[in-house]
Structure 1
Amino acid sequence: MRILSLCIFIAALAWALLPGNTATTWPLIAHFTAFPVVVGAGLGLIGVVGVLLRRFRPLLAAGVVLVIAGAGSFLPVQQPAVSDADDGGLVVLEWNTGDSVTPEALATLIRDVDPDIAVLPEYSGAAPAGYRSFVSSEMPVTVLVAEELGDYRAVEVPGSSEVTFGTVHVSTGRPGERTPDVIGLHTAPPLPGLMGRWHDDLGTIVSLAETHPDALIIGDLNAVPRHGVLARTDTHADAAAAAPLLGRGTWPTALPGWARSPIDHILIPHGWSVVDGGVRVLDTGGSDHAPVVAHIRRD
């Protein structure tokens, strides 16, 4: 009876972790889902032990299920297209500065990365030279656009299209290979008292993707693409998923890179690709989030 109960529990756990399952937005399950490498490795290790203890067929079956669930936790949901061409395109930076990065520290990173576009949740300081700055009216989300990209302007964001901690939409009015619309945002985290807001924010991101299928959607989503409705987004893919498997995590920086949660994202529309080797998660200090850099291009 104990073995049967164990098998039922393991099957339920594997089901709950399936991408897009509503259960991935439930308390605890949402947090397990947010750390795919740690959870996947843990499930796989427990599963291997179950397989090795094959005297009991139910335990063997449970072990196999756990190994499969663990391996599945590593796999990205929307894998971006990867291009061998490295000419042209845009360099994009996303960094939740944690409201603790100084303009001087940001300017140093900007000089090193030389992004065309940067989205900076929790930053409201001065813009580096050569960039235009657009800041949300809520908890600050800043979008920086290189002046050489042209005349970007802020677009009014209806309240129904705003996420909890800030949404910024900028456009030239003439979207193109070097001038895509950019939507920067920062969702509520899945914490007690904010779970409902977080769930709603994920739905808002999906709606933004559907109504702006050609826009770059960039920011701290406090979620991974496996969470709830995000897994069913069919207009965009996460450029950060092209980073090495053990090098995608961005938060918290107190953990080693492989153990972090990949909650900072650069969502690119279909028709765009990531330049091969062009995605990096940096070890720059100053925030509890690591910066993400992606070299992307329109196909």
Structure 2
Amino acid sequence: MRNRPRRPLAATVVATGVVAAGAAVVGAPEWFGLAGQRPFLWTVPFRVPVGVGLAGLAAVTGLTGVRWRRALPAATVLAVAAAGSLGATAARGVSAGDLPVARAGDVTFLAANVLMARADPDAVARLAVDGAADAVSLPESTQPYADDVAARIEARTGTGVQVFYRRDREGGYGTALLVSQRLGEYRATGELTDGLKAVVTAEPVSGDGPVLAAAHTAAPVPQLVGDWTLEVRAVADWCARTPGALLAGDLNATLDHPGLHLRGSCVDAGEQTGTGARGTWPAKYPAVVGATIDHSLADGNRWRAVGSRVAALPGSDHRALLARWRPVDRT
């Protein structure tokens, strides 16, 4: 009896291996240290579209293969990769979230990229007031815009608001940090200003409020990938080394990017409270398929997130993020 030719089996094994490697790299580039490299740094924020694409490719491969049995291994590999990508999203949470009732000692931080001061300032103020925000981070703001939002908050609450502002190195716009007098009096510290796009840091002069930062890092566009890599890492490192820190803003990165592989005690509010994969950009698409690039971070030795909420922000291409932080020594 003659042996059956092994060439088709060998070809199937090789083809399946190639498909498996490709699917793994596309579906989870962070496993291979590629999430910060082109082109994967641009695809890793969009896990749901990638997962759906892999699932569709699995279906096409399985259903249209010339020989179904030979196509089945590759289709299975693609389906597993799709499930992994979608599963990672589900694990972080795609809920819009909610905020529990604030308790004494809680600090609520609002991050709202206002798109070159085009977002409705009254809507920003309403988000801050309705969410009982103690601090507000306004990337892509101007000084007059930040002052306007602060005045609207003061008019609604009767509580003073300090405004700290730093222009982007490119010019026209910058980042503002608004701090309610409920936290006491603050002063700017000037940390994270050397070479970074626009980060405002402030510490309490009176009262027992936390060290605060409002941040906006460079976007990972081709000409700024180097700056983006350094700036995202610098912001995450500041969170890790600053006792009691709270930070919020548009970090232009997801937790899968190497810069936001949080180290030390630094924690992410969305990841802790189930909104960690809710897309904050671009706002014109459903949140479930968007990129989660707006964050609220904290020193986890001092703070734990007890709630977060992703909310619409009229006039902006971002959604806003509210995070409520509670001291870890309080139940």
TM-score (normalizing by structure 2): 0.76
Q: Are residues 1:120 and 2:138 paired? A: yes
Q: 1:134 to 1:283 in 2, by over 3 A?
A: same
Q: 1:102 to 1:256 in 2, by over 3 A?
A: closer
Q: Are residues 1:4 and 2:14 paired? A: yes
Residue 31 (structure 1) aligns with: 42
Out of 271, 286, 295, the residue aligned to residue 324 of structure 2 is 295
Q: More displaced, 9-18 or 29-38? A: 9-18
Structure 1 position 32, deviation (Å): 1.1
Q: Decide whether the 8 Å contact of 2:119 with 2:313 is kept in 1.
A: no
Matches of 1:184 and 1:26, distance apart in 2: 26
Q: 1:231 to 1:43 in 2, by over 3 A?
A: farther
Q: More displaced, 141-150 or 8-17? A: 8-17
Residue 6 (structure 2) aligns with: none
| Structure 2, unaligned runs of 5 or more | 1-10, 94-98, 155-159
Residue 96 (structure 2) aligns with: none
Residue 5 (structure 2) aligns with: none
Q: 1:174 to 1:10 in 2, by over 3 A?
A: farther
The one-letter amino acid paired with 1:92 is: F
The one-letter amino acid paired with 1:282 is: A
Per-residue CA deviations over 1:105-161 (Å, capped at 9, x if unaligned) read: 43333332231111110122112323111111324111111112101111022544x
Matches of 1:144 and 1:298, distance apart in 2: 21
Q: 1:131 to 1:62 in 2, by over 3 A?
A: same
- Residue 145 of structure 1: SS of its match in structure 2? strand
Q: Which has the larger radius of gyration?
A: 2
- Residue 208 of structure 1: SS of its match in structure 2? helix
The one-letter amino acid paired with 1:296 is: W
Residues 166-245 of structure 1 correspond to what in structure 2 (within 5 A)? Answer: 166-172=198-204, 176=208, 179-242=209-272, 244=274
Residue 115 (structure 2) aligns with: 98
| Structure having greater relative contact order (Cα 8 Å, sep ≥ 6) | 1
Matches of 2:54 and 2:276, distance apart in 1: 17
The one-letter amino acid paired with 1:123 is: S
The CA RMSD over aligned residues, in Å, is 3.1
Per-residue CA deviations over 1:168-226 (Å, capped at 9, x if unaligned) read: 001115785xx111111101111121111111112212321233143112110111011
Per-residue CA deviations over 1:234-261 (Å, capped at 9, x if unaligned) read: 3212112345569711111110121111
Q: More displaced, 206-215 or 42-51? A: 42-51
Matches of 1:221 and 1:137, distance apart in 2: 16
Q: 1:44 to 1:182 in 2, by over 3 A?
A: farther
Per-residue CA deviations over 1:270-289 (Å, capped at 9, x if unaligned) read: 132222xx211112311000
Matches of 2:207 and 2:57, distance apart in 1: 50
Q: 1:268 to 1:42 in 2, by over 3 A?
A: farther
Matches of 1:282 and 1:252, distance apart in 2: 13
Residue 309 (structure 2) aligns with: 280
- Residue 308 of structure 2: SS of its match in structure 1? strand
Identity, in percent, stands at: 27
Matches of 1:281 and 1:245, distance apart in 2: 7
Matches of 1:213 and 1:50, distance apart in 2: 52
Q: Decide whether the 8 Å contact of 1:20 with 1:230 is kept in 2.
A: no
Q: Decide whether the 8 Å contact of 1:40 with 1:73 is kept in 2.
A: no
Q: Are residues 1:140 and 2:174 paired? A: yes
Residue 84 (structure 2) aligns with: 69
Matches of 2:276 and 2:177, distance apart in 1: 28
Per-residue CA deviations over 1:72-106 (Å, capped at 9, x if unaligned) read: 541449xxxxx999633122111101121244343
- Residue 141 of structure 2: SS of its match in structure 1? coil
Q: 1:45 to 1:90 in 2, by over 3 A?
A: farther
TM-score (normalizing by structure 1): 0.83
Q: Decide whether the 8 Å contact of 1:185 with 1:221 is kept in 2.
A: yes
